[in-house]
C-alpha cells in the first residue's frame, strides 16, 4: 500500500468516525424530542381527565362554588388545548429528528461502504516494494 493509499484509508476512517459521532448526537436529540413529546401527551391526557372530572362535579354548596369550579374547569380546558398544540409541534420536531437520524445513518453507512471497498481494492492490488525498480532492467540473457 502506497503512502497516498494509506492517507486515503486514514481519511475515510476519520470521516467514518465523524459521521458516527454526528449520528450519535442526532440520536440523543431524537431521544430528547421523543421524551418531550411523551411528557406533553401525558400532561394533555391527565389534564383532560381532570377537566372532565371537574366539569361533571355536582357537589357545589352554592352558586359561588359552582362558578369557581366552572372557571377552574375552563382553565384546565385551556391548558389541555395549549398542551395539545405543543404536543403537535413536538410530534413534528420528533418526526423531523427521526428523518435526520435516518439520513445520518445512511451517510455513515455510505462512508463505511467506501472504506470497505477501498480496503478490499487495495488488498487485491499487488504490493510493490518501495525500493524495487518499477520496470525490468537488463535483458533476458542476463
Q: What is the DSSP letter of 127?
A: P
Whether residue 109 has pLDDT greater than 70? yes
Strands (E), 1-142: none
From the list 125, 138, 34, the residue with the least C-alpha distance to 87 is: 34
Under the banding of pLDDT at 50, 70 and 90, the label for residue 21 is very high
Rounded to 5 degrees, what are φ and ψ at 58?
-135, 30
Q: Which three cell numbers stand for residue 99?
A: 428523518
Among residues 93, 116, 121, the alpha carbon closest in space to that of 32 is found at 93
> If you average pLDDT over residues 61-73, what whole number do you get?
87
Amino acid at each position: 500500500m502506497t503512502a497516498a493509499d494509506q492517507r486515503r484509508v486514514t481519511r475515510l476512517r476519520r470521516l467514518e468516525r465523524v459521521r458516527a459521532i454526528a449520528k450519535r448526537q442526532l440520536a440523543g436529540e431524537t431521544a430528547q424530542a421523543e421524551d418531550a413529546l411523551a411528557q406533553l401527551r401525558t400532561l394533555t391526557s391527565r389534564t383532560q381527565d381532570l377537566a372532565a372530572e371537574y366539569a361533571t362535579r355536582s357537589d357545589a354548596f352554592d352558586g359561588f362554588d359552582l362558578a369557581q369550579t366552572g372557571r377552574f374547569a375552563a382553565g384546565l380546558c385551556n391548558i389541555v388545548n395549549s398542551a395539545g398544540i405543543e404536543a403537535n409541534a413536538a410530534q413534528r420536531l420528533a418526526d423531523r429528528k427521526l428523518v435526520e437520524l435516518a439520513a445520518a445513518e445512511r451517510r455513515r453507512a455510505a462512508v463505511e461502504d467506501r472504506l470497505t471497498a477501498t480496503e478490499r481494492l487495495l488488498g487485491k492490488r499487488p504490493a510493490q516494494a518501495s525500493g524495487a525498480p518499477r520496470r525490468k532492467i537488463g535483458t533476458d540473457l542476463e
